[in-house]
């Protein structure tokens, strides 16, 4: 926040985009650091941090904004800089009543983040996404445990339902007919790649706990593909793949996708299989077009 405020000390209006670029240069960020995204993959981390720094400074009355996506330093901001502060953080800004009110749901309440470490560099957006990822990771681990506890027949049904939800196999009825049980506590079979059945994908699944799937298992699967005259396959396991298995699929001409237990759970969460929505939080922002002249 302090470097941002100093950049506006010339009393001129500055575009937020220009400030982001200037701060990136000042902090000597690499291209990768500038392009780093939040877990959602929709927002740049650095741009988000500059945006929240601007918001905090505006709420404390150190910056003003007379035009869209621009800022200009206020009299209070100039006064703060004249004090030569070592840094500006949340604790520093709490000396201003406007900022305390901003942090509170109601004027007579304590600040919402009064107990947050003043050295914390995360923005509210990063904190929210971090909490979401933590909840998601915990759910993923619980899902995998539940899957392993189920019967082979249930696992077959789960895999088919997931692939259908991901757009493969046409209808669930068609996909179910395309698979058959084997004796290795998994499934072997084919499923339509699309609703028209223009191509087929061969599926192998192993419901294992700690045992990893190695190269021999994948080689056997590739041999099965040859027997079916198939060029595409999906190998799904509830455990993990050994490194030699991952390297092997990179050297073959057939297209073989490996889905381990962690990725399987992630797909289930993404496509709403075996999970239910507990809460929904919508993060909204000002619609600039609505308020434009």
Q: What is the pLDDT of residue 174?
A: 67
For residue 182, pLDDT beyond 70: no
Phi, psi of 199 (to 5 degrees): -150, 165
Q: At a CB cut-off of 8 Å and minimum separation 6, what does 182 contact?
A: 188
- If you average pLDDT over residues 150-175, what whole number do you get? 81
Beta bridge partners of 185: none
- What is the set of domains in the chain, with CATH numbers? 2-112 (1.10.10), 150-270 (3.40.1340.10)
pLDDT tens string 57-72 = 999 999 998 888 899 9
For residue 111, pLDDT beyond 90: no
Tokens 């609505």, residue located:
290
- If you average pLDDT over residues 227-243, what whole number do you get? 89
pLDDT tens string 33-56 = 999 988 777 789 999 899 999 999
Q: Which of 140-144, 165-169, 217-221, 284-288 has the lowest mean pLDDT?
A: 284-288
**Do 237 and 257 meet the contact criterion of CB atoms below 8 Å apart?**
no
Report H helices in the chain.
Answer: 2-7, 16-26, 31-35, 45-59, 75-82, 90-93, 97-103, 124-149, 152-165, 172-177, 215-227, 243-249, 261-270, 288-291
């Amino acid at each position: 926040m302090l470097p941002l405020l100093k950049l506006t000390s010339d009393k001129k209006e500055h575009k937020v985009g220009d400030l982001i670029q200037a701060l990136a240069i000042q902090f000597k960020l690499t291209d990768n650091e500038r392009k780093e995204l939040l877990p959602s993959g929709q927002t740049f981390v650095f741009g988000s941090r500059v945006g929240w720094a601007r918001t905090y400074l505006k709420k404390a009355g150190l910056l003003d904004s007379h035009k869209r996506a621009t800022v200009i330093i206020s009299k209070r901001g100039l006064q703060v800089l004249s004090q030569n502060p070592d840094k500006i953080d949340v604790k520093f800004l709490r000396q201003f009543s406007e900022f305390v009110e901003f942090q509170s749901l109601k004027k007579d309440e304590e600040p919402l983040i009064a107990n947050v470490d003043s050295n914390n560099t995360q923005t509210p957006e990063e904190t929210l996404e971090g909490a979401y990822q933590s909840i998601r990771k915990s759910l993923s681990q619980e899902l995998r445990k539940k899957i392993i506890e189920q019967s082979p027949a249930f696992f077959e049904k789960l895999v088919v339902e997931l692939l259908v939800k991901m757009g493969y196999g046409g209808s669930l009825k068609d996909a179910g007919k395309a698979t058959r049980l084997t004796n290795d506590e998994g499934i072997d079979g084919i499923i339509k790649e699309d609703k028209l059945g223009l191509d087929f994908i061969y599926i192998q699944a192993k419901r294992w706990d700690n045992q990893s799937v190695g190269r021999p298992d994948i080689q056997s699967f590739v041999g099965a593909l040859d027997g079916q005259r198939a060029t595409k396959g999906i190998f799904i396991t509830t455990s993990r793949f050994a490194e030699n298995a991952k390297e092997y699929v990179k050297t073959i001409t057939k297209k073989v996708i490996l889905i381990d237990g962690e990725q399987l759970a992630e797909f289930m969460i993404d496509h709403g299989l075996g999970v239910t929505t507990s809460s929904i939080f919508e993060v909204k922002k000002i619609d600039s077009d609505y308020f434009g002249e």
